């Protein structure tokens, strides 16, 4: 890879809860594993701790702790220690800088949804101590902090706890992530945040005029993308075909040219400093983007950006430079 590469979101750890060492195997299951990331030279991967909607309160807390234990087992595995260099925990800016050097590799851990916090800032302290450095405030469903993008009923955003949470995330040096948030949660968060905010994996509503309501709700409007970028933040375009171009005819697959078109529109509304990549690898099934079947295809994304005329410095920002700037400004 000719530039440092950072991916804003993957759900891969969930596949290795029972066997963390499998991440270093040669089976090439799913979208992502150690070998495929290192083949492309990708430096940094944000790994999500996802909690399903049927886990709330103490059950959500325990589930997230089990998730993090699997993540720790992966990093401490003999297979990782045998790599040169091994995958590193990114806990602060110095770790990020090391990982972004040529030949460097590291993971950043995000909670996806505030459910594991059980409405308690003391739990946020605990997860910070365990290495969590970002929080996606909601998934599609509601939690103690805010409403998700699929929530039914009045369009309420952040709760009282959610407003405290936004301020405390910034105070601790944790990234605020608005993926899966509804419009009111996005609005409320941006009114409180004093530093950069990201959306780690999203599509854009401009490409969803005829899409079902759930796909429209999951995508950012141009105004939302512009507002996130105005914080100094980044809108990360994901690789889920339905998020990129909505539902299509059976004979029409989404291709790399479609991905490049969505990225170009994101740059038009959010600026070249406000756009990145957040694959959502291992967070979706079905046919992937044609030509972008798994993490080994990242060089094809670079080629697609080159093909539509992005200059090299712009490609560097989209590929990872913008996320590196945000992470470097937020992390301890």
pLDDT digits (tens, 9 = 90+) for 14-40: 999 989 999 998 777 899 999 999 999
Cβ-contact 55, 18 below 8 angstroms: no
- Please report the pLDDT score of residue 152 as a whole number: 62
- 235 pairs with which residues across the strands? 199, 275
Cβ-contact 263, 275 below 8 angstroms: yes
Cβ-contact 239, 286 below 8 angstroms: no
Cβ-contact 136, 278 below 8 angstroms: no
Cβ-contact 32, 280 below 8 angstroms: no
Q: What share of the chain is helix, strand, coil (3-state, %, to 5)?
A: 45, 15, 40
DSSP, residue by residue, 3-14: S--EEEEE-GGG
Cβ-contact 236, 201 below 8 angstroms: yes
- Please report the pLDDT score of residue 215 as a whole number: 84
C-alpha distance from residue 212 to each of 20, 207, 315 (Å): 37, 12, 32
- Please report the pLDDT score of residue 151 as a whole number: 76
Residues 206-260: tens digit of each pLDDT: 999 877 888 888 999 999 999 999 999 999 999 999 999 987 777 789 999 999 9
Cβ-contact 49, 10 below 8 angstroms: no
Percent of the chain having pLDDT more than 70? 98
- Please identify every stretch of the chain with a pLDDT value under 50, giving residue numbers as ranges: none
Element (H, E) at 177: strand 175-177
With 0.85 as the threshold, say if the pTM is over it: yes
- Please report the pLDDT score of residue 147 as a whole number: 87
Q: Which residues contact 147 (CB under 8 A, 6 or more apart)?
A: 138, 155, 156, 157, 181, 182, 184, 185
Determine the Cα angle at 305 with ends 207 and 209, to 5°.
0
Residue linked to tokens 């902090």: 145
Burial 158-184 (b: 16+ CB within 10 A, else e): bbebbbbbbeebbebbbbbbbbbbbbb
Can you give the residue ranges of every domain in the chain?
6-330
106/42 Cα distance (integer angstroms): 9
> Before 85, cis peptide (omega within 30)?
yes
- Please report the pLDDT score of residue 3 as a whole number: 94
DSSP, residue by residue, 236-288: EE---HHHHH-S--TT---BHHHHHHHHHHHHHHH-GGGEEE---BTS--S--
Report the candidate in 308, 303, 318 with the shortest Cα–Cα distance to residue 271.
Answer: 318
CATH topology of domain 6-330: TIM Barrel (3.20.20)
Torsion sign, CA atoms 285, 286, 292, 293: positive
- Please report the pLDDT score of residue 154 as a whole number: 58
11/287 Cα distance (integer angstroms): 17
């Amino acid at each position: 890879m000719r530039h440092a590469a950072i991916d804003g979101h993957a759900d891969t750890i969930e596949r290795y809860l029972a066997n963390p060492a499998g991440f270093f195997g040669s089976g090439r299951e799913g979208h992502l594993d150690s070998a495929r990331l290192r083949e492309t030279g990708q430096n940094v991967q944000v790994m999500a701790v996802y909690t399903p909607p049927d886990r709330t309160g103490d059950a959500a807390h325990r589930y997230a702790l089990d998730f993090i234990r699997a993540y720790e087992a992966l990093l401490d595995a003999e297979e990782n220690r045998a790599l040169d260099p091994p995958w590193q925990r990114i806990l602060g800016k110095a770790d990020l800088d090391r990982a972004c050097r040529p030949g460097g590799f590291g993971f950043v851990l995000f909670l996806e949804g505030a459910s594991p916090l059980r409405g308690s800032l003391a739990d946020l302290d605990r997860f910070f101590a365990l290495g969590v450095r970002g929080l996606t405030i909601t998934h599609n469903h509601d939690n103690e902090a805010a409403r998700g993008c699929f929530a039914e009923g009045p369009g309420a955003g952040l709760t009282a706890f959610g407003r405290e949470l936004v301020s405390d995330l910034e105070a601790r040096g944790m990234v605020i992530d608005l993926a899966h948030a509804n419009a009111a949660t996005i609005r409320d968060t941006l009114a409180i945040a004093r530093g950069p905010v990201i959306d780690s994996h999203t599509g854009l509503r401009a490409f969803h005029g005829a899409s079902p309501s759930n796909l429209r709700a999951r995508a950012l409007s141009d105004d939302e993308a512009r507002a996130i970028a105005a914080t100094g933040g980044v809108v990360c375009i994901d690789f889920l075909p339905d998020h990129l171009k909505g539902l299509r005819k059976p004979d029409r697959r989404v291709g790399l040219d479609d991905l490049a078109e969505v990225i170009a529109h994101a740059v038009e509304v959010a600026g070249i400093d406000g756009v990145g990549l957040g694959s959502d690898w291992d967070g979706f099934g079905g046919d992937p983007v044609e030509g972008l079947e798994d993490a080994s295809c990242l060089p094809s994304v670079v080629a697609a950006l080159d093909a539509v005329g992005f200059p090299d410095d712009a490609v560097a920002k989209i590929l990872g430079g913008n996320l590196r700037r945000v992470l470097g400004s937020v992390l301890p």
